[in-house]
């Protein structure tokens, strides 16, 4: 009881930014966790072909969202809310109306070019219209969410996000069970719930007078974000193009198997993203303070921790797949090691890209991203045709490794220009960790038929976590504690 009161006092003593960061983290984990936890239900309600078709729809949805909204609700909006704080209302109204204008333009493009677009995407006009509506409505939520984060108002955001996720999931299960066209049913539930929960957010900025839409802010948003479109698009291509190309070059059933493996790998990504979200403000602060010794000191331990978490997922993949899906999905286990390894390299990339963001060298980031995405498309085209859908996992892993190398190269250029050639990280140790991680992934995959050896390895990882728990907690406490003190 005393411990409970002590925790409450500690929580109340936290600053608003720190409280908000915790709740945003919890909200993100629950939201993504719901998608993962309902996977066993949808894989049993939908065939591998239907499951694949729905995930390919989601891939095209994510690609179209970049073009339709230009990602205006991302970095440019956050930056503008701070930069134009005294004229925040006019800035918001201008960004909302610019997004609406872009949606109208893209609506006309889709209508006029519906045949070639349908041929490219394998989506009918109805699905394309649903994507347009959903992207437009979801942009309202993304703008509003950015406003809440800037002002550290987490209660309304957390409540709306979780209620929406819970009701959308429940409605999706009920409707998919009831309708014969399960792909269309799931899409309609998704779009319908987004319209129901988010449409009103598009009206909210215009309820308070005066309404002042300034072309200057349109120019500012376009000038900032248009050069970043190749970067944003490349990230989506790296994450989503596999499923689209598998459906094109093999079939929707293979895309479904690959999508299930990606769903499982997303569990590791939840953990990795949580660590990145905690680390990023700390990394920015240490760069600002030029305390690069602290960055190097913490990097190896954190990278080992992330590697261990990702390896644990690879170790138990066969059993998790049996829980997540019926036997018809089982061969997806052989995609999980390379896809999970890709997630590990996505985490590693964040250590290097933070320097590109901090020193505003976003053009370098775009070069690395575009090269990685182009290589992924080319390699997928060759190797999926030769070896089937499992090859996509390995091409993705190879491209993320190139991605990391590219961002490291550009980080080194920045260090030469800005930091007198300082070597921030112990790259020999990082390379050894990466090689060891990849080797263990290969060994574990070879042991998928031996459950005893794999679970001995799981026990060894768990024991290591217990032995080093104080060191792990100390690293987290130092990072979060430093952040709280600064606030």
Convert 260-280 to b/e letters by CB count within 10 Å (16 or more is b).
bbbbbbbbbbbbbbebbebbe
Alpha carbon distance 341, 308 (integer Å): 11
- The pair of structure tokens assigned to 363 is 């053009």
Backbone angles phi, psi at 316, to 5 degrees: -100, 10
- The pair of structure tokens assigned to 87 is 């004229």
| Per-residue confidence (pLDDT) for residue 482, from 0 to 100 | 47
Q: How far is CA 421 from the centre of its chain?
A: 32
Closest among 348, 351, 353 to 437, alpha carbons compared:
348
DSSP-assigned letter for residue 409: H
Alpha carbon distance 345, 334 (integer Å): 19
Q: Which residues fall within 8 angstroms of residue 224, CB to CB, at 6 or more apart?
A: 75, 76, 79
Is residue 68 within 8 Å of residue 231, measured between CB atoms?
no
User: Going residue by residue through the chain (487 aa), what tens digit of pLDDT does each one get?
Assistant: 555 555 566 656 666 656 666 676 677 667 667 777 788 888 888 888 898 889 889 889 989 999 899 888 876 787 777 778 778 888 888 999 999 999 999 999 998 998 899 888 888 889 999 999 999 999 999 888 878 877 777 788 888 888 988 899 899 999 998 888 999 999 999 999 999 999 999 888 888 777 788 888 898 888 878 877 887 888 788 777 888 899 888 888 888 888 888 877 777 777 777 677 667 767 777 887 888 888 888 788 888 888 988 999 899 888 888 887 888 888 888 899 999 999 899 888 888 888 887 776 767 777 888 888 889 999 999 999 999 999 999 999 999 999 899 889 988 888 888 888 888 888 899 999 999 999 999 999 998 888 888 888 888 888 887 777 776 666 655 555 544 434 3
Q: Which residues fall within 8 angstroms of residue 78, CB to CB, at 6 or more apart?
A: 146, 149, 150
Is residue 460 within 8 Å of residue 315, measured between CB atoms?
no
Alpha helices in 70-124 (DSSP H): 75-83, 88-112, 114-121
- Burial (CB count <10 Å: 0-12, 13-18, 19+), residue 87: middle
Alpha carbon distance 191, 210 (integer Å): 32
| Per-residue confidence (pLDDT) for residue 438, from 0 to 100 | 95
| Per-residue confidence (pLDDT) for residue 477, from 0 to 100 | 58
């Amino acid at each position: 009881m005393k411990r409970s009161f002590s925790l409450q006092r500690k929580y109340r003593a936290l600053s608003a930014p720190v409280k908000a960061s915790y709740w945003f983290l919890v909200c993100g984990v629950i939201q993504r966790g719901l998608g993962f936890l309902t996977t066993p239900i949808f894989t049993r309600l939908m065939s591998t072909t239907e499951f694949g078709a729905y995930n390919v729809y989601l891939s095209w949805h994510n690609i179209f969202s970049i073009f339709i909204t230009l990602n205006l609700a991302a970095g440019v909006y956050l930056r503008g809310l701070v930069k134009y704080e005294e004229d925040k209302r006019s800035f918001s109204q201008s960004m909302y109306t610019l997004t609406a204008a872009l949606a109208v333009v893209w609506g006309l493009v889709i209508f006029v070019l519906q045949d070639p677009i349908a041929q490219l995407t394998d989506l009918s006009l109805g699905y394309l219209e649903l994507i347009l509506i959903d992207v437009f409505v979801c942009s309202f939520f993304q703008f509003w969410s950015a406003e809440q984060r800037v002002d550290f108002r987490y209660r309304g955001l957390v409540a709306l996000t979780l209620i929406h996720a819970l009701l959308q999931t429940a409605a999706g299960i009920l409707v998919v069970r009831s309708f014969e066209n399960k792909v269309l049913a799931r899409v309609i539930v998704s779009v319908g719930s987004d319209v129901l929960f988010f449409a009103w957010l598009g009206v909210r900025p215009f309820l308070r007078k005066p309404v002042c839409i300034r072309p200057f802010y349109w120019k500012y948003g376009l000038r900032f974000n248009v050069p970043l479109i190749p970067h944003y698009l490349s990230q989506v291509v790296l994450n989503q193009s596999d499923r689209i190309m598998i459906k094109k070059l093999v079939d929707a059933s293979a895309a479904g198997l690959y999508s299930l493996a990606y769903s499982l790998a997303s569990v590791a990504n939840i953990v990795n993203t949580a660590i990145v979200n905690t680390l990023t403000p700390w990394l920015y602060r240490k760069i600002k303070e030029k305390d690069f010794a602290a960055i190097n000191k913490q990097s190896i331990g954190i990278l080992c921790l992330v590697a261990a978490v990702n390896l644990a997922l690879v170790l138990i993949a066969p059993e998790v797949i049996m829980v997540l899906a019926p036997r018809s999905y089982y061969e997806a286990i052989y995609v999980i090691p390379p896809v999970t390894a890709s997630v590990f390299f996505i985490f590693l990339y964040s250590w290097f890209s933070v320097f590109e963001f901090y020193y505003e060298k976003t053009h370098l980031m775009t070069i690395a991203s575009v090269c990685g995405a182009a290589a992924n498309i080319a390699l997928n085209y060759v190797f999926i045709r030769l070896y089937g859908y499992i090859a996509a996992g390995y091409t993705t892993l190879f491209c993320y490794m190139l991605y990391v190398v590219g961002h490291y190269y550009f980080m080194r250029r920045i260090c030469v220009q800005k930091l007198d050639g300082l070597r921030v990280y112990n790259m020999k140790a990082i390379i050894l960790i990466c090689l060891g991680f990849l080797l263990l992934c290969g060994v574990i995959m070879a042991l998928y038929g031996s459950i005893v050896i794999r679970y001995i390895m799981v026990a060894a990882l768990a024991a290591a976590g217990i032995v080093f728990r104080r060191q792990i907690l100390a690293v987290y406490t130092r990072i979060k504690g430093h952040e709280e003190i600064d606030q």
